[in-house]
Each structure stands twice: as structure tokens, then as C-alpha cells.
Chain A
């Protein structure tokens, strides 16, 4: 048995902790989003919706809690899409030659990068949840201890699967590209529609039809559905909308993320097989 992916993972984590500015900024950035955008938006949104009647017995959450789930998802999306950039750097600095000339199966590179990306996303998700609770987000409110534990596991399971999907995609793009600028361009192009055609910041119910369909199949929406289910609950009201999730909604969402990850893994395997690095 060859644990090549563990070797790739080990090296990428060394790099993660050694680049101090990158480490700090990647941990600080989501907290800043929550602090500035979250507090600013929630203070105006919460005022706007105060007049909307609430059905009796429904759990009402503030905007900060609602978009907190979106910020976890957004951070995971950015981190994962940029996760493959190390492959491009390795390629351009000649370091990839050492790996590709070794007997190790190339799929280990994809797995190793995936695993280190997931680790980074886990750290970020936990920081956002902790920081969110500190500034007033109602994550896990009214949960029993073991519901909290289950909730955290659930959130991380969703974050992990989503991260894998986009890390594989990022790896596939990175091994095919020549310049970091090109990669940056492609990634920026991808993040816009994925982020805004999702339920991260607002409900998707009143979207125009085409956008609505897009948002339903958007992995980002699937992830946020999962996070809200596990961190807020199956039944809550936000922005005047009543949200209800069943177990089968959640399982379907997870299956969708898995399908996406399998698809992008296939894409990455194909691109790596084709890659010529001299």
C-alpha cells in the first residue's frame, strides 16, 4: 500500500503553516466578512422585516445567523477553488517534475491536495461558527449537547464533500493552465455565478425561473441547505420566509454534492493523465 496522498498532504500542510501571512489572512478573512458585511446587513434587514407576521411556534432567526451559513459556504468555495494553485506553482517552478517522475500514482496528488484543502476548510468553518456565535449568530440555539455535536459533524460533512468537489475542479484547471493569472481569471469567472446564484445571502424563491433552476442545482445551494439544517434546525423563519427541511431534502443535497465531487474527480484524473511537465 502506497500512502502517497499522505505525503502530498504533509507537504501542503507544511506550506500552509509556514506561509504566515497566507495562514493569518485565510483565517481572518471569513471573520472579517462576518463582522463587517454580516453586522451591516443584518442591522438593516432585521429592521425591514420586523413588520412581517410570524406563525405561532416558528423559530425566527436574525439575518446574521442566516447569512453566517452563507459565509461558511463562501469561504469554503474560495479556499477550495484556490486550493489547486499550489499545483500550478509546483508546475511552474519545476517542483512537479520530481513528483511526476516518481513511481507514485498521479491520483495521489489529487487526493493529497483534496485532503489538505478539506483540512483548511474545516479550520475555517469552525472559526466562522465560533466567531459568529461570539458576535450574536444563533447557531445551535436551543440544541441539546449531543445535538450540537451532531450538528457540528453534519456541517463539517457537508463542508468536506463540497470542498472536495471544488478542490478536484481546481486541481484539474491548475494542471491544465500555464499561468497563475489565467487560473485567477477562470476562478473569478466561476465564483461569481456560483456565489450569487445561491441561497447564501438571500432566499432564491423569488428568483426569475432560469436563475431559480440554476440555483437549485448549484452545489453552493446544496451546501448551504445542509449547513442551515445542521447549525440552525429543520424548521425556522428568516427574512420573512419559512424554511422547512426534511431528512430526505438533506440526503438529496448530500448526494448531489457527492455526485459533483465524483464528476470533478474524474475530470482531474483525466487532466493529470494528460499532463506533460518537463
Chain B
């Protein structure tokens, strides 16, 4: 899809000031965002950040409490039935009946959505080919590998030709190779015109797959943008330094025109550089030597999504939430 069409394409998911609490705990704390038709949009955040709660409201499994949300042009509260007809979902955990066959899983789903027989059977064949499971059609799902299960779930999510496909942590628990293949499938589905809303806590996944990312933490959206835009907000390069006097080092460096910002780390500090880092590096070394400061470690790198996350949330990525997040209904 050409860039201009994406830029000005119409809005397919629109959320304003969405809030959701469980027993006084604010899982989603006033988020607003818009997803454009045809893009891959990601929620990136640690476990317990509120991603799944937000997605559950959008797919109508949780009743909306505050704010407004519409999907494919339909309000999730006023027109949940229309929303359900317009979307496909791949849930966070594997939700396949272990004792049904691959074909039966898709058949069951098509019937749930009341697809006419002929159309349903034809669609099953197309999708089995797409996710390369045609040879496994009569295999019970308990005999499939993790990657195959995920592919089957993606096929299921696509059965009804949804306008938006929701993927909640699509590659959780998969090995690195399988993850890369899943990304290919997801891109392929997107290339055919399906808008994709993705949640993930993998930085690289959000980075490589998304057209745009919202970083979400503690139920709030911290920043939204294209992956390169987010990284560019940190400057072109990052220089990490450890010295025998970090405070003095920062004092002597911070007024240098090429350095836009400084961030302290436990043992050292990071310089965010506007220019080519390899040109700034000799100046930094020179400046510190003249100030009589000894450098013990030095490292130059491009900003990664991890750096973006750390910068905007003010802390390292946490894998586990500090407290157990209560789920609706237990």
C-alpha cells in the first residue's frame, strides 16, 4: 500500500479516553488512539500494562466502562453484534479444542459466524493453503507444534474475511525461527488488505512488524509513532560511557552542540547524539581527557526500541507486573 494512502486512509479503530478498572485498580487509564485502515498497529508494553484489557473491550468481551470506542465504524457498546461480525481474533493463549481436527476447528468457527456452506468450505481450503496446514487437516490439534497451532488460530481469525484482525501476543512462547515465520504470515495477511491490531511485549516484534506503535505502560499510552520516528526522538546515535567521575564528565560534555540529551544509568550515562556518533566520539574522548577524567567503558550504538521504551517509561523493561493484576470474573 502506498505511503500516501496509509497517511490519509480512513480510521478503522477509534478510541477516546478509554478507562477500565477492576475492583478499584485502573487497568486502562484514559487512552486515546486511532488505527488507520490497512496498517499494522501495535500496543507495546510489559505484561500487566493494560494491553489485554483494552483489546478485550474492543472485541466486545468486556463491557466498556468509560470513554468511547468504535471498530470498523461500529460502537462497541451500541452495536457489539456488528463489531463481532467485522473482526477476527487470535487470543493470547492457545484456544483450540485439543480433540478436534484442524479442519473441524475452522468448520466450527465458520458455522459460529453463520457462513454459508459452500463459502465456508472454500474458505477453509484457501486458508489451509495460506498457513501451510493442508496436510494436517485431519490431525487433532493436540498433535500440532506450537507454531502450527498459532498458524491455525490465525487461519481461524481470518475465516470470516474480517476487516480487522486482532492479535493478542501472537508469538508468545514460540521459538525464534517460528516467530520469524509468524511475522511473515502476519505481513502476508496485512498485504492482502486486512488491518492488524497487535499487542506484544517483544520490542523487536513491534519494531519489525508495525507501521505504527503505541507504547503503553500502567494503563496509559506514553507515545505513539512509526518505529523509526520513535527511535529518532532519541537522536541518531547513543554513546554509553562509564568514567571515574560521571558527574564531572556530564558537566563537561552537556553543552556540546552535537549532544541533545544525557541520561544517567546505574554505573554510567548515555549521550543522545544528533549527529553521526562516530564523528562525535573522538570529540567526547578528547574533551574528557582534557578534563582529566578517565574512561573505563565506551560504547556507540543506534537507538533500539528498548532504548525508546526505557527513555519514555523511565525504567528498564519489566517482564513481570509488580502485583498480580486481577482478571474480570477471576
Instruction: Tell which of A19, A94, A98 touches B112, judged by Cβ atoms closer than 8 Å.
Output: A98
B59 (CB) vs chain A CBs: closest residue: A101
Query: How far is the CB of A17 from the nearest CB of chain B, in Å?
Result: 10
Taking a contact as CB atoms under 8 Å apart, the answer to whether B59 and A94 are in contact is no
Q: Which of A4, A95, A99, A178 has the most CB of B within 10 A?
A: A95
**Contact between B112 and A4, CB atoms less than 8 A apart:** yes
Q: Of residues B93, B108, B111, B113, which shows the largest number of chain A Cβ atoms within 10 Å of its Cβ? A: B111
Q: Are B108 and A11 in contact (CB under 8 A)?
A: yes
**B95 and A97 within 8 A (CB):** yes
B114: which A residues are within 8 A, CB to CB? 2-4, 103-104
> Is A47's beta carbon under 8 Å from chain B?
no
Assess A94 versus B113: contact at CB under 8 Å? Given A276-B63, A278-B328.
no
Which residues of the other chain, A, contact B52 by a CB distance below 8 angstroms?
278
Residues in B with CB closer than 8 Å to A189 are none
> Would you call B100 and A14 a contact (CB within 8 A)?
yes
**A contact residues, range:** 20 to 34
B60 within 8 A of A: yes
Q: Is the CB of B108 within 8 A of A18?
A: no
Chain A residues in 8 Å Cβ range of B95? 93-95, 97-98
Q: Among B56, B85, B104, B108, which residue has its beta carbon within 8 angstroms of that of A103?
A: B85
Chief secondary structure at chain B's binding surface:
loop
Q: How far is the CB of A12 from chain B (nearest CB, A)?
A: 11
Are B59's CB and A7's CB within 8 A?
A: no
Instruction: State whether A95 touches B97 (Cβ < 8 A).
Output: yes
Which residues does chain B contribute within 8 Å of A11, judged by CB atoms?
97, 100, 104, 108
Establish whether residues B112 and A14, one from each chain, have CB atoms under 8 Å apart when the complex forms.
Answer: no
B81 / chain A contacts, CB cutoff of 8 Å: 103
Chain A residue with Cβ nearest B156: A98
B109 beta carbon closer than 8 Å to chain A: yes
Binding site for B on A (CB under 8 A): 2-4, 6-7, 10-11, 14-15, 18-19, 93-95, 97-104, 178, 275-278
Counting from the closest, the 10 A-B pairs by CB-CB distance are: A7-B111, A94-B95, A102-B112, A103-B84, A276-B329, A278-B56, A103-B85, A2-B114, A18-B99, A276-B328
